[in-house]
Amino acid sequence: MGGLKVKDIFIDPSDFKPRDLVVPNPFPREQEVWMVRFTPEDFKAFWFQEQTAIQFVPCSERGPNRDIRKQSGDTLLPLHITIPGTNGRPKIYDWSFRFQCRRHGPPRPLAIDRPSIGIGCPVEIRMKKPVGMDAVLVDYRWQHSHDLSAQTLSNMPMGANERSWIKLKVAEGSDWKGIRAMLRMDENSMSEVQYRFYVIMLY
């Protein structure tokens, strides 16, 4: 196993590139749920591109891997070691994670003039690593119930990846002008970025 790390699942702000115009991966879209088996390297590339192009939010997981995203990005994901002579149900997966489209929640009426983030979008991706297999299995319900245009996105508040990225740039000493230069967004997103910037500077 190439050894997938925490940052291969939960994108590291320093790897995030808001300036790039990233498109979702091409893949066969005949089935409602696309099921695929990746090599670890191919999975890494696929998921990096997909979560840069589309705003996903992690679903909370039960079990021992629940707090894994709080660990440093370079932490290796756990691999199960069977201790000879132990009984009990054998473990099937070393780890599994589930993400949903950021817009999965129910619609909520907002006082301000912008669409609700929640729109009941069914998009969900589950990734799991079978014990003893050098592969990642992915089930991807990929069909959004809304459009994914930059225009629509720009009317919504920034996602977690964008916010963490700005935080990182501030920590690295970038000022507002510098951050603005690194971004390529329309005016709506721009004011949101500016707002976030000041919030980060203040607290």
Residues interacting with Zn ion, by CB under 5 A?
101, 103, 121, 123, 144
Give 5 or 144: the residue with its C-beta nearer to Zn ion: 144
Please give the DSSP secondary-structure letter assigned to residue 5. B
In angstroms, what is the minimal distance from the CB of 180 to Zn ion? Answer: 28
Give 99 or 165: the residue with its C-beta nearer to Zn ion: 99
Give 125 or 193: the residue with its C-beta nearer to Zn ion: 125
Residue 194's H or E segment, with its range, is helix 187-202
In angstroms, what is the minimal distance from the CB of 174 to Zn ion? Answer: 31
Residue 128's H or E segment, with its range, is strand 124-130
How many beta carbons lie within 10 A of that of residue 155, not counting itself? 14
What is the Cα–Cα distance from 125 to 4, expressed in whole angstroms? 17
Can you give 61-76 as a three-state secondary structure string? CCCCCCCHHHCCCCCE
What is the Cα–Cα distance from 39 to 101, expressed in whole angstroms? 24
In angstroms, what is the minimal distance from the CB of 119 to Zn ion? Answer: 7
Give 128 or 144: the residue with its C-beta nearer to Zn ion: 144
Spatial neighbors of 113 by CB under 8 A, at least 6 apart, are none
In angstroms, what is the minimal distance from the CB of 87 to Zn ion? Answer: 43
CA angle 21, 139, 145 (to 5 degrees): 60
Give 137 or 156: the residue with its C-beta nearer to Zn ion: 156
In angstroms, what is the minimal distance from the CB of 188 to Zn ion? Answer: 19
